[in-house]
C-alpha cells in the first residue's frame, strides 16, 4: 500500500524530530512523523530535566516530550506509530515502509537517535531513572556531595568520571579489564584526582536498591571476591548504538554506524537530512538535538523549494 507523496517525512519523535516537525509544519510542509519504537526518545525514561531552557523549576522528561508533541500537533503534524522497516533512498520519490505501508516523500529527516548500551541486569533496568543513568552531564547535579559509580573504561567513562568528581563526594570507576582503554592523559588526570577510586578487573553483578539506588554488588574477576559498595548513583558509560540499522545501505555512515553529516545536517544523499544523536557522538543533549532539528527542517524547506 502506498500513500500520497509527502513533502517531508521525519523519522523519530525525540527532541530533534519534534523540533523539526514544529518548524516544518509552520513552514506549511505538512510533515508526517514516524514515531519509532521509543516514542519521545530517551527523555521518556528520564526523571527531572533541569537543563532545558524555559523551565526554571525543572520538568519531568516525559512531560517535556508530551509538551513538544502537543505543540507539533497544534500545527497539524500527523504522527504514524511504529518504526521504519525498509528504506529506499536510491530512487525518487524517497520511500520508507512502516510494516506493509509504504510512505513516499520529497525529503526525509532522520532523527532516530542513539540508544545507550546497558549492562542488561534486571536490577539495573528496574532502576533506570531512579539512580541509574547513562548521562553524567544530564543527571550529575542530582548527586551533589553523594557517592556514585561509573561503569566503563574508555574515553567517555573517563570524561564522565572527571566531570562527576567536581560534583559528587566520590566516584568509583568499575572496568572489567585490568587496564583502561581511555587516553593516557585522561587516565593520568583520574589517577591524580583523590575523589576517583578504581575497581579494575571487576564487573557489576547487581544494582542494589528497591525504589532508588542504594549501592552495587561487584565481583573481582581475578580473585572471585564479591563486595557491596554503598552509593546513590550508577552511571553506565559503555557507549551508545545509533539507531541506523535500516539506513546503513542507503546513506553514508561511519565505522560505528552513526550517520555522517555534510555541511551541518545534510547527508550523502540529496534530500536526506539528519538531526540529533543519530549523528552527534559528542554532545548528546536534548537542547543540541532540538537545535539540529530546527536546522534540518530549514534545510529541508530550502531543498523542497529548490526542487519544486
Q: Catalytic residues, which ones?
A: 135, 138-139
Cell 572527571 identifies what position?
162
Rounded CA gap, 216 and 211, in Å? 14
Rounded CA gap, 177 and 181, in Å? 9
Sign of the dihedral defined by the CA atoms of residues 98, 66, 70, 281, in that order: negative
Question: What are 141-144's contacts with CB under 8 Å, separation 24+?
Answer: 141/50, 141/167, 142/48, 142/233, 143/167, 143/168, 143/232, 143/233, 144/168
Three-class SS state of 178: coil
Residues 6+ apart with CB under 8 A from 14: 40, 41, 42, 43, 65, 111, 113, 276, 277, 286, 289
* Phi, then psi, of 177 in degrees rounded to 5: -105, 160
Retrieve residue 222's grid coordinates. 581475578
Three-class SS state of 227: strand
Cβ-contact 114, 16 below 8 angstroms:
no
Strands (E), 26-184: 32-34, 48-49, 59-60, 78-80, 86-88, 94-98, 101-110, 114-116, 132-133, 147-151, 170-175
Amino acid at each position: 500500500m502506498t500513500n500520497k507523496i509527502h513533502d517531508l517525512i521525519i523519522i523519530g519523535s525525540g527532541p530533534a524530530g519534534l523540533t523539526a516537525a514544529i518548524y516544518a509544519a509552520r513552514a506549511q510542509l505538512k510533515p508526517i512523523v514516524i514515531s519509532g519504537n521509543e516514542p519521545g526518545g530517551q527523555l521518556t525514561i528520564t526523571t527531572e530535566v533541569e537543563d532545558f531552557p524555559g523551565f526554571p523549576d525543572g520538568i519531568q522528561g516525559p512531560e517535556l516530550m508530551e509538551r513538544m508533541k502537543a505543540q507539533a500537533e497544534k500545527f497539524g503534524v500527523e504522527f504514524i506509530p511504529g518504526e521504519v522497516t525498509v528504506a529506499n533512498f536510491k530512487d525518487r520519490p524517497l520511500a520508507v515502509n512502516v510494516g506493509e505501508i509504504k510512505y513516499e516523500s520529497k525529503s526525509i529527516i532522520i532523527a532516530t537517535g542513539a540508544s545507550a548500551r546497558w549492562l542488561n541486569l534486571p536490577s539495573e533496568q528496574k532502576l533506570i531513572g531512579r539512580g541509574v543513568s547513562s548521562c553524567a552531564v544530564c543527571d550529575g547535579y542530582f548527586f551533589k556531595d553523594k557517592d556514585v559509580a561509573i561503569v566503563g573504561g574508555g574515553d567517555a567513562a573517563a570524561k564522565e568520571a572527571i566531570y562527576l568528581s567536581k560534583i559528587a563526594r566520590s566516584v568509583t570507576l568499575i572496568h572489567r579489564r585490568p587496564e583502561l582503554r581511555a587516553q593516557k592523559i585522561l587516565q593520568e588526570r583520574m589517577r591524580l584526582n583523590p575523589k576517583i577510586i578504581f575497581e579494575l578487573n571487576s564487573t557489576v553483578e547487581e544494582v542494589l536498591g528497591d525504589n532508588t539506588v542504594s549501592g552495587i554488588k561487584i565481583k573481582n574477576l581475578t580473585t572471585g571476591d564479591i563486595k557491596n559498595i554503598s552509593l546513590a548513583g550508577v552511571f553506565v558509560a559503555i557507549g551508545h548504538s545509533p539507531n541506523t540499522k535500516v539506513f546503513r545501505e542507503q546513506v553514508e555512515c561511519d565505522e560505528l554506524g552513526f550517520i555522517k553529516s555534510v555541511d551541518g545536517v545534510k547527508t550523502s544523499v540529496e534530500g536526506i537530512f539528519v538531526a540529533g544523536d543519530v549523528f552527534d557522538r559528542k554532545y548528546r543533549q536534548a537542547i543540541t538535538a532540538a537545535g539540529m532539528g530546527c536546522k534540518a527542517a530549514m534545510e529541508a524547506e530550502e531543498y523542497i523549494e529548490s526542487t519544486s
